[in-house]
Structure formats: C-alpha cells, structure tokens
Amino acid sequence: MRIAIIGTGYVGLVSGACFSDFGHDVVCVDRDAAKIGALEQGVMPIFEPGLDQLVARNVAAGRLGFTTELAEGVEGAEAIFIAVGTPSRRGDGHADLSYVYGVAREIGELLDGPTVVVTKSTVPVGTGDEVERILREVAPEASVSVVSNPEFLREGAAIADFKHPDRIVVGAEDERAIEVMREIYRPLYLNKAPLLFTSRRSAELTKYAANAFLATKITFINEMADLCEVVGGDVQDVARGIGLDGRIGSKFLHAGPGYGGSCFPKDTVALLKTAEDAQSPLRIVEAVVKVNDARKRAMGRKVLKALGDEPRGKIVALLGLAFKPNTDDMRDAPSIAIVQALEDAGVTVRGYDPESMEQARPIMPDVQLCRGPYEAAAGADAVVLVTEWDALRALDLDRLAASMRQKILVDLRNIYPPEEVEEAGFAWHGVGRPPRA
C-alpha cells in the first residue's frame, strides 16, 4: 500500500519508518528542506534508539523516501497520515491546530482518487470533524474518509511500541476506511495486537485519557513519596506493595522529580481546556497538573536544603538533563525548574546528559555543560541524579567522591542504595525514603 506521512517529527518519522518496514511504500513529507536534506543523508532530526538503522534499511530497499513537495508525497497515496505538531497555543493552553487544518486544506486541493486521511497527531475531540469539513469544502467531489489513529509511542522505546503495541485504536465512520486501516496494520496480526475500532471522537479522546491517567499515576506516587518522607515510610516498598495488585499495576509508580516531555504536560492541559469548553470539569486532572508543576520546583528546594544554610557560591553537578532516558527531548524537563531554583539561589550549575546537551544549551545558557559525569562532579559540592540513564546507574562512587569539594549526593530517581552511597563517604538524599540516621 502507498502511504504518505505529513510531518517528519517524532511521530511522523517513527511511523513512516515502521510502516515501510512492514512492506508498505512510504513517502514522508516536510516543508523543512534542511531536515529533509539531512534525512536523505541518513542524519536523524531526533535521537531514538535504532531509528537511524531502520530508516537506512528501508531507504536502501526503496520503500521509504522523503520530499518537501506535498503534491509529490500524496500522489497515488491510498492513505495520508497527518503527523504535524500540535503544541500548546500561546496564551490559553489549547492545542494549536493551525498546522493540522492547514495541511488538511492543502491535501484537499490535491486529492485525485479514493483516499483515507488519518490524523496521527494528538488532537482534541472533534478535530476530525473539522478536518472532514475542510476537505469537503475544498474538494466537494472527492471520495475521502477521515480517520483518527492516535499514537501511543514512548520516547526511547518508540519502535518497539509501534511494532508490538498494546493496542491500535482506530476511529472510523465508514467501512471503506476501516478496511484500509485493517490492511495497513495487517502485518501486526501475527503479534495479535488488538485492533480497536471506535467512533472518531472516542479515538481522539482515548489518547488524552490515556496520557492523563498515566500522569495521574506518576503524580500520585510522588505525593505518596512526600508523605513517606514525613512519616518514615519507604515509597519504593509502598509502590511495590500497591503495584502487585493487578487492578493497579507496577508501571508509572516510580517516585521522582515529576513528569515532563512532549506529551503529558501539553496533553493534560489541552484536555482540561476541552473539558472547560464543554462545561464538564476534570478536577482530578486539574490537580495533577498543579501538583506536577509544584513538584519540579520542590525538587530544586530539596537540593538547596541538602546544600545547607548558605548555598550561594556552591557548585552542583546535575547528571541527566533530558526529561527521561533514551531521548534528547528537553521539553518541560524537570531539570529546567531545578536549574532555575539553584541559579536563583546563587548556585553554580554544571550539567551532563548522554544525548541532550545541544538541546539543553539554549534552554540553560548559564549551565556549564560537561563532557561526562566525573568532569561535572570535579570540585562540586553536590551531585544530583535527575534522569535515570543506564550510563549513570553504575558510577564509581569512590572516584566521584574523591574529586568533590563536599560529598553530597541527591538521588531524585532512587537509583543507588543509600548504604553504598554512604559507604563512599556521601551524605545521601533520596526521594520518599526515610532519612538516614
């Protein structure tokens, strides 16, 4: 099947590469000539493990191509996926759908045969209705169906998530669209991935509901961590205890500095705006957003408290800057709020991340970016573990301590056993665990 993907950001590029790996003929379209030129040279615009090899393999096989020309990309396509950005709209938090609607209008002007137009971008409920209205306005005689097919890809594990999904949600309103989507995802039938067909509006809402629920689990365990610190419990034991309940599950119950990234922050706010417009408030999600924002700032105060009464003039090494491991994404990363709190208190901040240094540089202009964790820690008063990269899970604590001015380790991901940290001479500070005697 011939497929066009409009947008070569995170969702579009991963989807296009995986569809082509299934054997479909895929053309990815993007207006950014520099990005397309780089992709044609095998240079990825994002860091995602395995993506460069996947793209190269399918380009070499002739199943995957790139272009800046929309007409070239959609010519002969049986399905056109819209995978452009839907950032938070400046000023009010609504999802900015201008890119989605603009592309829909351009597609309408190019339709020349039966086509299924699929919104892969994360969009509020009702967006598909407007996309269909635009297409029928621009091309009233065209045979076109509009489908919602939200993505459920975790940054850092996107290829595995695409090829071995928990479910594939398809919101379609007619049989022809359903059959086309069945054919597109037919290669996954061997994996017995559930293909769930719903109404278009239900599919759009499912994406937001899933992200809001996961954000709620993260925020819940973070609040339990705060309570554990006060009353003497251990949040890791509590998380294991409740996670073994099949009704709850263990995923997303790891206490830390709060959620960030490209999805949870903007999607929870966009969902709240949809609910507000519909006069159907979501009080739990509203609380989650407020608590998570406060959580990131509180982590900065936690580090300052560990530094003692006079933090001004001290040096802190932040290890891990991206919002999660295996990505270079700095969007709404907890490290940003932590850096702000430290710099406001007169602390000098050094930073290191295996992949996000270039993305961090313009966001944290005063942070001294280092080539490795030991360089960042040399002469520092405290090391703060912010992101749980594999490369930061087995540091030589003795070597780290020997190079530091003060020996303070603030472990915001509870990576290291407190006993090992203290044995290396550090004062240990974790999250949601009893204070050490």
Residue 247 DSSP one-character state: T
Which residues are paired to 80 by β-bridges?
A: 4, 117
Report CA torsion sign: 292, 294, 300, 304. Answer: negative
Query: DSSP alpha helices (H): ranges in 2-150?
Result: 10-21, 33-40, 51-60, 70-74, 98-108, 127-138
Kindly report the CATH number that applies to the domain delimited by 2-198.
3.40.50.720
CB-based contacts of 296, cutoff 8 Å, min separation 6: 257, 258, 260, 334, 336, 337, 338
Q: Which residues contact 414 (CB under 8 A, 6 or more apart)?
A: 235, 236, 254, 255, 256, 430, 431, 432, 433
Question: Are the C-beta atoms of residues 335 and 321 closer than 8 Å to each other?
Answer: yes
8 A C-beta contact, residue 345 and residue 409: no
- According to DSSP, residue 91 is labeled T
Q: Would you state the pLDDT for residue 106?
A: 97
**DSSP H or E run through 366:** none
| Extended strands (E) in 120-209 | 144-148, 168-171, 195-198
Q: Which residues of 407-428 are buried (b: 16+ CB within 10 A; e: fewer)?
A: bbbbbbbbbbebeebbebebeb
d(CA 51, CA 178): 29
- State the distance between the two ends of the chain, measured CA to CA, in whole angstroms: 65
Residues designated as active site: 263
What number of other Cβ atoms are within 10 A of residue 397's Cβ?
19
- Residue 283, classified by CB atoms within 10 Å of its CB into exposed (0-12), middle (13-18) or buried (19+), is exposed
Q: How many CB atoms lie within 10 A of CB 100?
A: 26
The tokens describing 62, both together, are: 């002739």
Strand partners, 317: 350, 383
CA separation (Å) from 400 to 33, 351, 383, 390? 45, 15, 9, 17
Helix (H) or strand (E) holding 170: strand 168-171
Dist CA 31 CA 47 (whole Å): 20
Check: CB of residue 26 under 8 Å from CB of residue 93. Answer: no
Residue pLDDT tens, the chain, 437 long: 999 999 999 999 999 999 999 999 999 999 999 999 999 999 999 999 999 999 999 999 999 999 999 999 999 999 999 999 999 988 788 999 999 999 999 999 999 889 999 999 999 999 999 999 999 999 999 999 999 999 999 999 999 999 999 999 999 999 999 999 999 999 998 777 899 999 999 999 999 999 999 999 999 999 999 999 999 999 999 999 999 999 999 999 999 999 999 899 999 999 999 999 999 999 999 999 999 999 999 999 999 999 999 999 999 999 999 999 999 999 999 999 999 999 999 999 999 999 999 999 999 999 999 999 999 999 999 999 999 999 999 999 999 999 999 999 999 999 999 999 999 999 999 999 987 76
| Two tokens, residue 72 | 């070239």
Whole-number pLDDT of residue 436: 74
**What is the predicted pLDDT for the residue at 44?**
96
Q: pLDDT digit string (tens) for 292-318?
A: 999 999 999 999 999 999 999 999 999
CA distance 99 to 88: 12
Cβ burial 224-235 (10 Å sphere, 16+ → b, else e): bbbebbeeebbb
Burial class (CB in 10 A: 0-12, 13-18, 19+), 362: exposed
Fold equal for 2-198 and 290-429: yes
Query: What is the dotted CATH code of the domain comprising 290-429?
Result: 3.40.50.720
Provide the residue ranges of all domains of the chain, joining segments of one domain with +.
2-198, 290-429
| Measured distance CA(78)–CA(83) in Å, rounded | 16
* DSSP helix/strand/coil, 168: strand
Q: What's phi and psi for 188, nearest 5 deg?
A: -85, -5
Q: Would you state the pLDDT for residue 92? A: 83
Please report the pLDDT score of residue 435 as a whole number.
Answer: 76
